[in-house]
Structure 1
């Protein structure tokens, strides 16, 4: 996983009015916390942060008053209608440190013939991995699965260096049979 460098500035004004002024200046209010230190309130450039957050669990290298800190996004708030960034919580990490993150689940392959449906029960899995080597996603093969088959969390092949935090017996995907309606008989219309 690559690091994305972003310049950050410490902010001293708080509240709704100050946050709105920050957003009008194409900045995003954020808070950085972790490792037992006091939370630091910062602003980040809106466009660069939005581009970086397209990658799940991106590792941000924050240039903050001459120091370089590594952080991962913990909570992202977006405007419900327009989708722009409202506020971001960042968690400080160190190289070699293990962190727990949510990883998206992707499926590949074709189901067995018969018109069955694939139900994604879990869209993410919780994994523990090194902060500088976070996987972007996990892929599950559903090739040839028939109705009634399911893939459990313990059956998923995890990326190297990561361990499963989600319950091992949790169903990730399952195949369900389609329920077709019986055709109406022609004489039943009367």
Structure 2
């Protein structure tokens, strides 16, 4: 399960595009905390630290304890925007989380066991159908990833969502019979002779 991470922020007195640009010029990333029955709260984060958190992985499934002027509250990132050219964060949305609350998150799928799959050894290809799984779960039980093993699978075999080990109280947002990963047949290459014949001039084939 993901651990709660600490993050420092400062309050923003003004909102809007102009105010957001001013925040970015100061080396900060504008953000908003909303939900939990309280009014939205505009904050600013250190831009470099925010970038590190986003590119460090699992950002959207991590619970943060945000401290603003000594006041702490638990949140989970709901969305973020990156500059299309320079890839630095230009805005983050946080959702407040409270005890007893559930959230909907996308959890990445990690496939293991390829070296123990007869299908892979015989040339089969691991085809991941669902790279992430959406679940409804309590924030404290959000997993960093779902590990799915293809050990023992033959070509043509598949694994469905029912094999996932869901956290306590978690639910899938789709059917448990949905395919997550399959061992596809190897790619068949065209015969060299057939390729040569196809490329030859028509008069040469007459």
* More moved, 179-188 vs 60-69: 179-188
Structure 1 residues 114, 34: closer, same or farther in 2, change over 3 A? Answer: same
Deviation at 1:142, TM superposition (A): 0.7
Matches within 5 A, 1:144-183: 144-183=152-191
- TM-score, with normalisation over the residues of structure 2? 0.83
Q: In the alignment, what sits opposite 1:23?
A: 24
1:88 aligns with 2:92: yes
The structure with the greater share of residues assigned to strand is 1
Q: In the alignment, what sits opposite 2:42?
A: 41
Contact 2:141/2:167, CA 8 A, preserved across alignment? no
Contact 2:11/2:42, CA 8 A, preserved across alignment? yes
Alignment partners' CA distance in 2, 1:132 and 1:156: 18
Q: Which segments of 5 or more consecutive residues in structure 2 lack a partner in the other structure?
A: none
1:126 aligns with 2:134: yes
Q: In the alignment, what sits opposite 1:117?
A: 125
Deviation at 1:149, TM superposition (A): 1.4
* More moved, 147-156 vs 50-59: 50-59
Contact 2:36/2:98, CA 8 A, preserved across alignment? no
Q: Which segments of 5 or more consecutive residues in structure 1 lack a partner in the other structure?
A: none
Contact 1:6/1:49, CA 8 A, preserved across alignment? no
- SS of corresponding position for 1:22: helix
- SS of corresponding position for 1:166: coil
Q: In the alignment, what sits opposite 2:63?
A: 59
Alignment partners' CA distance in 1, 2:184 and 2:14: 54
Alignment partners' CA distance in 1, 2:62 and 2:36: 19
Q: In the alignment, what sits opposite 1:136?
A: 144
- SS of corresponding position for 1:148: coil
Contact 1:52/1:58, CA 8 A, preserved across alignment? no
Task: Name which one, 1 or 2, has greater alpha-carbon Rg.
Answer: 2
Q: How many residues align?
A: 190
- SS of corresponding position for 1:80: coil
The structure with the greater share of residues assigned to helix is 2
Map Cα deviations across residues 19-45 of structure 1 (whole Å, 9 max, x no partner).
122112111111111122221111111
Deviation at 1:164, TM superposition (A): 2.3
